[in-house]
Amino acid sequence: MTTVPLAKPSTAYGVILAVSGAHLINDLIQFLLPALYPLFKVQYDLDYFQLGLLTLAQQITACVLQPVLGLYGDLRPKPFTLAVSLLIVALGVVLLATASSFALLLLAAGVLGVGSALFHPEASRVARMASGGKLGFAQSSFQVGGNSGTALGPLAAAFLVLPLGQVSTAWFGLVAVVGVVILIGVARWYADHQRTLKAHGVAPVARLRITSRRLIGAFSVIGALLLSKFVYIETFKSYYIFFLVEKFGLEIRAAQTFLFLFLGAVAVGTFFGGPVGDRIGRRKVIWGSILGALPFALLLPHLPLAGTVIVSVLVGLILSSAFSAIVVYAQELLPQKVGMVSGFVFGFAFGVGALGAAGLGALADHIGIERVFGLFSALLLLGLLTAFLPNIEAHGDER
């Protein structure tokens, strides 16, 4: 891999492809946990709240650690951190394969979360470095790798893990090792890039001209938008299979396939959201994405099976287009702290999504999963808060 030229930055497509591929591997392995929930529910006699706690254990570590690790990377870049992150993921998936109790499942979930927390801020930073100015494209390409991995999770569970049993997840540790090899190559490019910047005496990126009060307000709105999006998507990922089984009497394998369609739509929407944001502006993408999904989300629980599947694909496609735009918008607010901002966005998104999924799982134990699906789409109304985001593009401040 070659260093991005300083005079005329070009897009390092090979680097972006590599971090996107590693993201696919990480998120495929991360999703093995919720994909195994139907098996765990029966084998360990778990209720919906306990399943939500597994999601919480996996995601809360990312929520807490990602901003801290991202800030540390801003202050002291460590290129080989990326490779270490997937080594931890490999350990987590082996623990998942050998866990024999709910407590050990919680431990495995936590280790998987630590690996993910280490991976995301650094990988997002590298994607931005390699963008050559195509910030939305680079971030979307990075994100679509993760979404693709998440989408493949239900298929891996339906056709490999569920038929072969929990212990078969250990084989995915070898997939993580492939990711480690890919990221060693990325780390070499990263280190070379850093040396070149230092040799040329490149000045730090200037801070955006915005008051501290407006900056705090902007990040508060971003937090609310992430809450609406990720509580919805995490709840969908965790409980959509049970919703389909309970409402329509589907077999688990068929329900896993329909979940794959939803998550595949999420991957497609994520990819297109970034380049569209580069072209028309990120606030417009955020507006269209979160509010555009609202009517379909409200309609979904009241449809027959065919309509439910079609509308779920539309919701995933529209709603997911916001995330890359949100990440790049947040990075542009604090361009000198890209790692910390990326860590905040990913960490808060994962953490709030997990808390929401756990809470809604507890609610489902009392009122049923069908009624939960009828209520939680109202969260997307928080998309109206986009009106309070500073229009930094209109004022020519975006960098």
Of the listed ranges 228-237, 344-353, 371-380, 383-392, the one predicted with least confidence: 344-353
Kindly indicate the confidence band of residue 56, based on its pLDDT and cuts at 50, 70 and 90: confident
Structure tokens at 47: 């209720």
pLDDT tens, residue by residue, 210-223:
778 888 888 899 98
- CATH class for the domain made up of 13-388: mainly alpha
Structure confidence at residue 304 (pLDDT): 95
**Average pLDDT of the residues of the chain:** 83
pLDDT tens, residue by residue, 113-132:
899 888 988 888 898 888 88
Could you write out the three-class secondary structure of 58-98?
Answer: HHHHHHHHHHHHHHHHHHCCCCCHHHHHHHHHHHHHHHHHH
Indicate whether 399 pLDDT > 50.
no
Kindly indicate the confidence band of residue 1, based on its pLDDT and cuts at 50, 70 and 90: very low
Structure confidence at residue 202 (pLDDT): 55
Indicate whether 378 pLDDT > 90.
no
More confident residue, 239 or 198: 239
Single pTM value for the model: 0.73
Domain boundaries, the chain: 13-388
pLDDT tens, residue by residue, 282-334:
888 888 887 788 899 999 989 999 999 999 999 999 988 888 888 888 888 88
pLDDT tens, residue by residue, 32-42:
888 788 888 88
